[in-house]
Amino acid sequence: MAADPKARWNRIVLKLSGEALAEKTGFGLDTDVLHQVATELYETKQELGVDIAVVVGGGNFWRGLKGAGQGMDQAQADYMGMLATVMNGLAIQDALERVGQQSRVMSAVEMPKVAEPYIRRRAERHMEKGRIVILAGGTGNPFFTTDTAAALRAAEISAQVILKGTHSGVDGVYTADPKLDKTATKYSHISYLEVINKGLKVMDSTAITFCRDNNLPIVVFNLLQRGNVKSILLGEQIGTLVE
């Protein structure tokens, strides 16, 4: 499907944390949030014709850093986290298909009973056929976060931007944590180097450096505000642009 010329970017990677999909307890899956995200992606796809890939974390089920912090072997803990991302990927696929959007889950950790193996050209082919591709399993390697997976996959599939969806009411990158510091102000635009030097928690430093080296802009925005994905693609000033 040809991209509508009004769209700012024609191929995007949406990075979701597992926590964004969680119930209010911070764990499990909130079906209302899944439906909202799926509906927004479906509408964006239908109205603007952009190619969409989704990279999802697994923190609502398991965090590798937590396991490592409790004495677990980090590689083992990270592999468990990869499995959690596949669970979220399947949930997103179900939500998308409930609203009528075809999708495919592709996993870097092979499990052919539930997901296709991640193959770059196959992922691109799915998007060309109008499907949303959900990329799970992180990079398939321990010691790398799903932020890094999003950056890597975006470069591989020639995406033009990473949309980093936040939750808990945070709508961009701030000078400090706005929940703790009432004087914190939001950046509308910031450079990769400033993010690294100021230690701002946008994505981990490996992902930020990779995006800088590959000229991949990042938009940090509130995922749970209806209409934000489409508004960003139409050029509205939403969240913070990192480039």
d(CA 153, CA 109): 14
pLDDT tens sequence across 52-73: 999 999 999 987 677 777 888 9
CA dist 174 and 39 (Å) reads 28
Looking at the predicted structure, is the pLDDT value of residue 97 above 70? Answer: yes
Q: By C-alpha distance, which of 45, 162, 179 is closest to 99?
A: 45
pLDDT at 4 over 50: no
In order of 3, 59, 172, 215, the CA distances from 86 in angstroms are 29, 12, 27, 28
User: Of the ranges 1-5, 118-122, 137-141, which one carries the lowest mean pLDDT score?
Assistant: 1-5
How many CB atoms are closer than 10 A to CB 35? Answer: 14
The pLDDT assigned to 177 comes to 81
- Between β-strands 51-56 and 11-16, what pairing exists: parallel, antiparallel or unpaired? parallel
pLDDT band (50, 70, 90) for residue 130? very high
The ranges assigned to domains in the chain are 11-242
Residues 6+ apart with CB under 8 A from 139: 108, 148, 149, 152
What CATH fold (topology level) applies to the domain 11-242?
Answer: Carbamate kinase (3.40.1160)
Report pLDDT digits (tens) over 156-190.
999 999 999 988 777 899 988 887 888 889 999 99
DSSP-derived letter for residue 10 is S
Q: How far apart are CA 148 and CA 207, in angstroms?
A: 4
